[in-house]
Chains A and B, each alone.
Chain A
Amino acid sequence: GAVVSQHPSWVICKSGTSVKIECRSLDFQATTMFWYRQFPKQSLMLMATSNEGSKATYEQGVEKDKFLINHASLTLSTLTVTSAHPEDSSFYICSARLRDTDSNQPQHFGDGTRLSIL
C-alpha cells in the first residue's frame, strides 16, 4: 500500500516552455503533498507543501510564480514549471502524507521526474 505515482518519469523540452508534473496517491487519500527538487550529487531540497483545497506554502527562495502548485483533490497534486530555463533542469520528486493518520506516520515518495530543459 501507500503508492505514490509521478508522471511523467522524464521530460525534455525547449527553453521557455511550461511543464506540468503530476503526483498521484494511488491507494490512499493524501491531505498533504510535498514537492522536492534534487540537483546532481546533492540532497533533496523541499520546495513547497501542498494542501488539498488551499494555497501551497513555499520554502524560502522558491518562486511561487515560477513553480505553480495545484492540489485540487485528495489524490492529485500538480507542479507546473512555467517558462522553464536550463537552470530549472533537475530531478523533481513528490511525496504524500496519508489523510487522517497519526502525525508520526511517514511520507511516501514518488519515483521522481527528471526534467531537462534545452
Chain B
Amino acid sequence: DAKTTQPTSMDCAEGRAANLPCNHSTISGNEYVYWYRQIHSQGPQYIIHGLKNNETNEMASLIITEDRKSSTLILPHATLRDTAVYYCIVRAANDYKLSFGAGTTVTVRA
C-alpha cells in the first residue's frame, strides 16, 4: 500500500527554489518522513527527515504541515546536478524497512 503520493514529474528553473510536495494523509504518530533522491544509475542519496518540526540541513529544508498529512521538500537554489528522482517515504522509527514509491522526477533546466 502506498503511504505517500507525489507528483510524477516537475520542471524547475536553475537557480530558483524547487518545492516538492508529498501527501501522506494516513501517517501515524510514530512515523517519520524521509526524503531521498536518486540520480540516474546511482544509489539513492539521503536528503533529510523529520517527525513534526521543520528541518533544515545543507542540502534542503523540510516543511511538515501541522496535521502532518503533507510535507514539502525545498531545494533552495536548484542546480542542474539536482536533476533526479525524489522519493518521499514514511517510516516508523522501529521499522527499518524503506518502501519506495515511484517518486517525482525533477528536471532542472538552465
Contacts and interface: CB of A to CB of B under 8 A. Distances in A.
Interface of A: 4, 6, 32, 34, 36, 43-46, 49, 91, 93, 95, 97, 102-104, 106-112, 114
Nearest to B45: A109
Interface of B: 32, 34, 36, 38, 41-46, 49, 51, 87, 93-94, 96-103
Nearest to B48: A106
A110 B43 contact: yes
A106 B45 CA distance: 10
Contacts, number: 56
A78 to B, nearest CB: 17
Given A44-B44, A109-B45, A111-B43, A34 B97 contact: yes
B102 A112 contact: no
Given A43-B101, A46-B99, A111 B42 contact: yes
